[in-house]
Amino acid sequence: MSDAAELPPVSLAGDGFLPHTSHWGVFSARLRDGALAVRPYAGDPDPNGIIGNFPAALRHRARIARPMVRRGWLERGPGPDGRRGRDGFVAVSWDEVLDRLGAELGRIRDTHGPGAVFGGSYGWASAGRFHHAQSQVHRFLNIAMGGYVRSVNTYSSGAASVIVPHVLGSYEDLTRRNVTWEQIAEHTEAVIAFGGMALKNSMVAGGSISQHVERGAMARARARGCDFLLVGPLRSDLPPEAGAEWIANIPGSDTALMLALVHTLVAEGLHDRAFLDRHTEGWAVFERYLTGEADGQPKDADWAAPIAGIPAEEIRALARRLHGRRVLVVVAHSLQRAEHGEQPVWMGAVLAAALGQIGLPGGGYGYALGAIGYYGRRNSAVPLPTLAQGRNRVADYIPVARISDMLLNPGGTYRYNGQTRTYPDIRLVYWAGGNPFHHHQDLNRLRRAFAGVDTLVVHEMAWTATARHADIVLPCTMTLEREDIGASSNDPLMVAMHKVAEPHGEARDDYAIFAGLAERLDRGAEFTEGRDARQWLEHLYERTRRGLEEKGLPAPDFARFWEAGSLTLPQEPDDGGELRRFREDPVANPLPTPSGRIEVFSRTIDSYGEADCPGHPAWLPPEDAPRPGAPLFLVANQPATRLHSQLDFGGHSAGAKHRGREVARMHPLDAAARGIAEGDIVRLFNARGACLAAAVVTEDVRPGVVQLPTGAWYDPADPEEEAPLCVHGNPNVLTRDAGTSALAQGCTGQLTAVEVERFTGNLPPVRAFDPPGG
Ligand SMILES: Nc1nc2c(c(=O)[nH]1)N[C@H]1C(S)=C(S)[C@@H](COP(=O)(O)OP(=O)(O)OC[C@H]3O[C@@H](n4cnc5c(=O)[nH]c(N)nc54)[C@H](O)[C@@H]3O)O[C@H]1N2
Ligand SMILES: Nc1nc2c(c(=O)[nH]1)N[C@H]1C(S)=C(S)[C@@H](COP(=O)(O)OP(=O)(O)OC[C@H]3O[C@@H](n4cnc5c(=O)[nH]c(N)nc54)[C@H](O)[C@@H]3O)O[C@H]1N2
Ligand SMILES: [Mo]
């Protein structure tokens, strides 16, 4: 990794290219004669093609040009309405829409209170520390409404972020102050990556990313002799540079496989007794389960072989290969975005502990390493610009993926992290910077859930399915149409994001929209603090400038930063964080778990008494697995050519589709059994829904698995139907809307069971990117 001090500036003055950044990389852009050109940051060793979505997207017909109100809401006023997503829209002026929405927000606030507003508004929005949609909407709701029902945790790591504090300590430390790519390149002798570390994923990092280092680090480790072992259904989950061996297990079986690896280590005396004694809690309880003393079933390789689809001898040989080397166990986020997702996260830590590797340079547990580009890096040593969100006076929240449950069951109870909680009665849902019709499961159920609220407000730049289901659609600017400061706590480059283009149509910044609404609710001055957007940037920048000054480093004023285009920030040392210190002295540096140690058995979790998350890691067979009528595992993973659903209408994303449809990959055996050939349009279906996709037939997918990434915009053939066919290929019409377990209630969208058939009917057109009618 190049030294932070050496980073070149983002743009070269004079040629009209202006500096900017995105979740998928730093770049510069130039708009000339109506044509947008983008080029990657010169300091990035492995730039990301996703910036290629910008040029066609900027003035695409899918952009929203004017404020729009759903016809039924305009005519009949707020209230539950099954016409959401089926109705036409009417264009209105900004003044009128802000007046109407201001009145509706006032009605909700004064008659129901802020506890009737859901402002969880989950989503990735765009890079930029000021025009950060989540910060803006939360600040607005706190100041103008007195608060809102929020959401906790993420779709990314819903299970992990809840279980890790119980058993391993700080989730932030585990993911962001632990094993780095520098350590791997230098020290690691074997990486066993459950779910892989696909470069398509680490190409993306929330906030900004200046250098994509993963490919280079894996190549350097490999050249030094490090073995990469890929456990998962897709060969492409590690790059060719890793020279990986592919262990193609059955999806959802990793916990069983890890149990058998640990069983083999224990049976052959290869586990690190000293480490387990000194650093873990409750090994003896777990060991009785492992050996079968507790339930009569040893979790050995013979037991795991049929569950994982890997021969027992291979499992035993794999365990022996992990002994006596500097080993890094990686568990991808994907494994825990599934039923019982807590288990592989916990069991991965137990495997790394049994190998005695936790806390060693380049060894131990790299949870989610490679899943996102900001993991495996150093942290910023100075504070970043941050918009204060104010105080939320509503205490209530939901685990983020329980949105449909909440809207469909007001007053209903559910279990979460040891508590029995009650769903609030929500009247108004406010979304800015996210796309639930991208991220949520069982979209037909989500449509029913959204039908029940009084008012659904959405700020969007484009006609996503979420915007189409809203009552009030407020067109917002795209990142290129405004100024901002780009920075991420795990990247050394702070970027002056210059404005490259004028706003599309009448689009406004989220900030300007909220300022207008706050004024109508008599909270204008509190919301804006008298600053315009540029003054806010100057104000937020000051925090970082002072941090530099306090460290005695060069601290340019805002004007100089803006002109230079970027600023290199100092980073903390690569010291292995909390886990390294704990390894070195577990008494002086206990982990922030109840026992201060790694909890192989957790009394706390055990005391919750949840059947689907017992007191130690365990194999719990999934319910939503292949069965008659749905015999294939669907892997609904992250898309390579875009971030989630963002700019799906851009050129790079469109270029990877076939006949306008998302591509589904399957093994030649499964394709032949169904008479499916490469390029055929296929229908994926199960009891919940159906979608079309274009088939690619490849041996890089495990037999019994079909892979369809997320992100193709939901496009119902006939929106009037209860469960319409999505003609474009959105897998979330198929996925199940159920929590990981009663412990974390995380998202389980990664895996479900489906059947696939060749589609022989008349091919319906893709209309996802056409604006809705009146
Ligand atoms: N089946 C299945 N489903 C999944 C997953 C899976 O693995 N399988 N993965 C899950 C994961 S990990 C995640 S993180 C979620 C992601 O889900 P989301 O974060 O909701 O997905 P995005 O497409 O990034 O949505 C961001 C939206 O914000 C809009 N936007 C961009 N900039 C701005 C702005 O400045 N202002 C406003 N108002 N809007 C803006 C974009 O146009 C876009 O519609 O999906 C989850 N869903
Ligand atoms: N290009 C691009 N990159 C992204 C994103 C994006 O939308 N586009 N989204 C970002 C976000 S928000 C997040 S949270 C991360 C998500 O990071 P992840 O959740 O790790 O990413 P996925 O691509 O969903 O899954 C990684 C791989 O896990 C494998 N897998 C699935 N199920 C199983 C299983 O049961 N066992 C095993 N062993 N393997 C399995 C699949 O083959 C899949 O390709 O990605 C980030 N990176
Ligand atoms: Mo995510």
Distance 747 CA to ligand 3 centre (A): 10
How far is CA 753 from each of CA 638, 680, 731, rounded to the nearest angstrom? 18, 21, 11
Whether 122 is catalytic is yes
Q: Tell me the backbone φ, ψ of residue 661, rounded to 5 degrees.
A: -105, 155
Residue type, 414: Y
CA angle 602, 604, 605 (to 5 degrees): 70
Residue type, 511: Y
Q: 427 and 381 in contact (C-beta within 8 Å)?
A: no
Q: 227 and 190 in contact (C-beta within 8 Å)?
A: yes
Cα distance between residue 738 and residue 158, in whole Å = 12
Summarised one tens digit per residue, pLDDT across range 590-643 is 999 999 999 999 999 999 999 999 999 999 999 999 999 999 999 999 999 999
Closest ligand to C-alpha of residue 332 is 2
Q: Tell me the backbone φ, ψ of residue 126, rounded to 5 degrees.
A: -125, 165
Indicate which atom in ligand 2 lies nearest the CA of residue 252. 35
- Which residue has its alpha carbon closest to ligand 1 atom 15? 439
**pLDDT > 50? residue 406:** yes
Spatial CA neighbour of 602 closest among 357, 417, 399, 354: 417
Residue 294: how many CB atoms within 10 A of its CB?
A: 14
Q: 441 and 735 in contact (C-beta within 8 Å)?
A: yes
Please tell me which residue in 73, 122, 246, 367 is annotated as part of the active site: 122
Summarised one tens digit per residue, pLDDT across range 230-286 is 999 999 999 999 999 999 999 999 999 999 999 999 999 999 999 999 999 999 999
Which residues have any ligand 1 atom within 6 Å of their CB? 122-126, 131, 133, 155-156, 337, 432-435, 438-439, 459-462, 464, 476, 510, 636-638, 643-646, 710, 731-732, 735, 749-750
Summarised one tens digit per residue, pLDDT across range 54-99 is 999 999 999 999 999 999 999 999 999 999 999 999 999 999 999 9
pLDDT-derived band at 13 (thresholds 50, 70, 90) equals low
pLDDT-derived band at 2 (thresholds 50, 70, 90) equals very low
Residues in the chain: 774
Residue type, 603: R
Specify the 3-state DSSP secondary structure of 413: strand
With a 6 Å cutoff on the Cβ, whether 232 touches ligand 2 is: yes
CB-count burial class (<10 Å; 0-12, 13-18, 19+) for 560: exposed
- Which residue has its alpha carbon closest to ligand 1 atom 24? 124
Token pair of 157 as six digits: 């790591």
Cα distance between residue 600 and residue 173, in whole Å = 19
pLDDT-derived band at 8 (thresholds 50, 70, 90) equals confident
Summarised one tens digit per residue, pLDDT across range 287-303 is 999 999 999 999 999 99
Spatial CA neighbour of 261 closest among 399, 354, 378: 354
Angle between helices 254-267 and 342-354 (to 10 degrees): 20
Indicate which atom in ligand 1 lies nearest the CA of residue 644. 23
Cα distance between residue 622 and residue 718, in whole Å = 33
Specify the 3-state DSSP secondary structure of 681: strand
Residue-wise DSSP of 337-360: SSTTTHHHHHHHHHHHHHTT-TTS
Token pair of 698 as six digits: 């490849």
How far is CA 577 from each of CA 221, 353, 492, 594, rounded to the nearest angstrom? 22, 17, 18, 19
Summarised one tens digit per residue, pLDDT across range 729-750 is 999 999 999 999 999 999 999 9
Closest ligand to C-alpha of residue 368 is 2
Contacts of residue 59, Cβ cutoff 8 Å, sequence gap at least 6: 34, 504
Query: Which H helix or E strand runs over 632?
Result: strand 632-635
Cα distance between residue 212 and residue 221, in whole Å = 16
Residues 398-424 have a mean pLDDT of 98
Q: What is the DSSP letter of 203?
A: T
Token pair of 514 as six digits: 């909220």
With a 6 Å cutoff on the Cβ, whether 203 touches ligand 2 is: yes
Q: 706 and 666 in contact (C-beta within 8 Å)?
A: yes
Q: What is the DSSP letter of 182?
A: H
With a 6 Å cutoff on the Cβ, whether 250 touches ligand 2 is: no
**pLDDT > 90? residue 5:** no
With a 6 Å cutoff on the Cβ, whether 201 touches ligand 2 is: yes
Summarised one tens digit per residue, pLDDT across range 422-456 is 999 999 999 999 999 999 999 999 999 999 999 99
CB atoms within 5 A of ion ligand 3 belong to: 156
Q: What percent of the chain has pLDDT over 70?
A: 99
Summarised one tens digit per residue, pLDDT across range 643-668 is 999 999 999 999 999 999 999 999 99
Q: Tell me the backbone φ, ψ of residue 737, rounded to 5 degrees.
A: -95, 80
Specify the 3-state DSSP secondary structure of 86: coil
Summarised one tens digit per residue, pLDDT across range 609-618 is 999 999 999 9
For the domain covering 632-758, report its CATH number: 2.40.40.20
Cα distance between residue 639 and residue 648, in whole Å = 10
Which pLDDT value is given to residue 12? 59
Q: 643 and 124 in contact (C-beta within 8 Å)?
A: yes
Cα distance between residue 465 and residue 210, in whole Å = 32
Which pLDDT value is given to residue 695? 98
Please tell me which residue in 124, 181, 374, 414 is annotated as part of the active site: 124
Which pLDDT value is given to residue 7? 80
Residues 563-572 have a mean pLDDT of 96
Cα distance between residue 486 and residue 93, in whole Å = 32
Indicate which atom in ligand 2 lies nearest the CA of residue 643. 7
Residue 659: how many CB atoms within 10 A of its CB?
A: 11
With a 6 Å cutoff on the Cβ, whether 617 touches ligand 2 is: no
Spatial CA neighbour of 478 closest among 465, 459, 458: 459
- Which residue has its alpha carbon closest to ligand 2 atom 41? 195
Residue-wise DSSP of 493-515: EEEEE---SPPSTT-B-HHHHHH
Spatial CA neighbour of 766 closest among 735, 720, 730, 721: 730
Domain boundaries, the chain: 179-375, 632-758
Token pair of 336 as six digits: 């825990």
Summarised one tens digit per residue, pLDDT across range 323-381 is 999 999 999 999 999 999 999 999 999 999 999 999 999 999 999 999 999 999 999 99
With a 6 Å cutoff on the Cβ, whether 251 touches ligand 2 is: yes
Q: Tell me the backbone φ, ψ of residue 402, rounded to 5 degrees.
A: -100, 25
Cα distance between residue 247 and residue 628, in whole Å = 26
Q: Tell me the backbone φ, ψ of residue 752, rounded to 5 degrees.
A: -155, -175
Q: What is the DSSP letter of 593?
A: S
Whether 171 is catalytic is no
Distance 439 CA to ligand 1 centre (A): 6
Please, what is the average pLDDT of the chain?
Answer: 97
Contacts of residue 119, Cβ cutoff 8 Å, sequence gap at least 6: 137, 138, 141, 148, 149, 150, 430
Contacts of residue 95, Cβ cutoff 8 Å, sequence gap at least 6: none
Summarised one tens digit per residue, pLDDT across range 35-55 is 999 999 999 999 999 999 999
**pLDDT > 50? residue 385:** yes
Contacts of residue 40, Cβ cutoff 8 Å, sequence gap at least 6: 25, 26, 27, 47, 48, 51
Specify the 3-state DSSP secondary structure of 686: coil
Q: 326 and 729 in contact (C-beta within 8 Å)?
A: no
Q: Tell me the backbone φ, ψ of residue 301, rounded to 5 degrees.
A: -65, -35
Q: What percent of the chain has pLDDT over 90?
A: 98
Which of 23, 134, 261, 638 to probe ligand 2 with, by most ligand atoms within 8 A of CB?
Answer: 638
How far is CA 431 from each of CA 153, 455, 458, rounded to the nearest angstrom? 17, 11, 5
Q: 551 and 381 in contact (C-beta within 8 Å)?
A: yes
Query: In CATH, which of 3.40.50.170, 2.30.30.40, 3.40.30.10, 3.40.228.10 is domain 179-375?
Result: 3.40.228.10
Cα distance between residue 237 and residue 370, in whole Å = 10
Q: 211 and 44 in contact (C-beta within 8 Å)?
A: yes
Summarised one tens digit per residue, pLDDT across range 506-557 is 999 999 999 999 999 999 999 999 999 999 999 999 999 999 999 999 999 9
Distance 400 CA to ligand 3 centre (A): 12
Token pair of 767 as six digits: 């209309």
Spatial CA neighbour of 44 closest among 240, 203, 242: 203
**pLDDT > 80? residue 3:** no
CA angle 97, 56, 533 (to 5 degrees): 45
Write down the residue that tokens 């040989």 correspond to: 317
Which pLDDT value is given to residue 774? 86
Spatial CA neighbour of 162 closest among 336, 379, 335, 352: 336
Residue type, 460: E
Distance 708 CA to ligand 3 centre (A): 16
Which of 201, 441, 666 to probe ligand 2 with, by most ligand atoms within 8 A of CB?
Answer: 201
